[in-house]
Amino acid sequence: MTRLIAPSLLAADFTCLQKDVEMVNASEADWFHMDIMDGVFVPNISFGIPVVQAVKRIAAKPLDVHLMIVEPEKYLHKFRDAGADILTVHIEACRHLHRTIQEIKELGMKAGVTLNPHTPAESLKEIISFVDMVLVMSVNPGFGGQKFIPTSYEKIRKTRSMIEESGSRALIEVDGGVDLSNAAALFEAGVDILVTGTTVFKAEDPAGMIHQLKTAGLGKITVNSEK
């Protein structure tokens, strides 16, 4: 099972972004997660293409760009040119999701699809074999620092079975309210990539926190009945 960590720059210190990017570069994290919000699809506005471009210049790891915008199909090439390696669109924002996924791949990026908390895993049925990643939102998108929604576990398990049944090789990412209280259980439920904003960037030792998240549950003592 894959165990990747993607710190979300939404919780970084924007007055010292380079410092936070370098911390992630030097840490055991795997990707940079970048949240793009338009104030229409979600009730908040974050940052846009120039920030992705700037981070790309100093990032030593792939950029995992999460588009929380309406009509994402209009901007795919712009995010590719800015440096996105993985581009994820919301199922709720795409009228022609299959076409949008194909376009992301034709542009040379990995294609992700994401589901809001109210969207059932079953809605992935016809798209799952075309995507590289499914992002399960475990909070309503728009803000960092929200509380994890526990029904996400069931959705992750269902998504995992759908991936196995369809023969898809998609990875599962979870985003929102991830911390040390749920990281191990999320990996166990079938998650490959944890997105973590607040937990990493507000920690006293962010790189240490990344290590703890990545290894969550691995040190568990298991009882060996054979002795």
* Residues found near Zn ion in the complex (CB under 5 A): 35, 66, 175
Partners of 220 in the β-ladder: none
- Distance in Å, CB of 66 to Zn ion, minimum: 4
Sign for the pseudo-dihedral over CA of 144, 199, 76, 101 = negative
The DSSP code sequence of 4-35 is EEEEBGGGS-GGGHHHHHHHHHHSS---EEEE
Let me know if 175 is a catalytic residue. yes
- Distance in Å, CB of 224 to Zn ion, minimum: 40
Residue 110 near ligand DX5 by CB under 6 A: no
Tell me whether residue 28 or residue 221 sits nearer to ligand DX5 (CB atom). Answer: 28
Residue 27 near ligand DX5 by CB under 6 A: no
Q: Which of 35, 73, 103, 192 binds ligand DX5 (CB under 6 A)?
A: 35
Residue 144 near ligand DX5 by CB under 6 A: yes
Q: Which of 4, 11, 12, 23 binds ligand DX5 (CB under 6 A)?
A: 11
The torsion angle over the Cα atoms of residues 86, 29, 188 and 226, rounded to 10 degrees, is 140
- Distance in Å, CB of 132 to Zn ion, minimum: 16
By CB under 6 A, which span of 19-27, 87-95, 116-124, 140-148 interacts with ligand DX5?
A: 140-148
Spatial separation of the C-alpha atoms in residues 87 and 64, rounded to whole Å:
6
Residue 50, judged by CB atoms within 10 A of its CB (0-12, 13-18, 19+), counts as exposed
Listed residue (226, 224, 222, 194) closest to 209, CA to CA:
194
Residue 216 near ligand DX5 by CB under 6 A: no
Let me know if 20 is a catalytic residue. no
Q: Which of 20, 30, 35, 38 is catalytic?
A: 35
The torsion angle over the Cα atoms of residues 215, 218, 220 and 224, rounded to 10 degrees, is -170
Spatial separation of the C-alpha atoms in residues 125 and 170, rounded to whole Å:
13
Tell me whether residue 35 or residue 103 sits nearer to ligand DX5 (CB atom). Answer: 35
Single-letter amino acid, residue 137: M
Applying CB under 6 A, the residues found at the interface with ligand DX5 are 8, 10-11, 33, 35, 66, 139, 141-146, 175-178, 195-199
The catalytic residues are: 35, 175
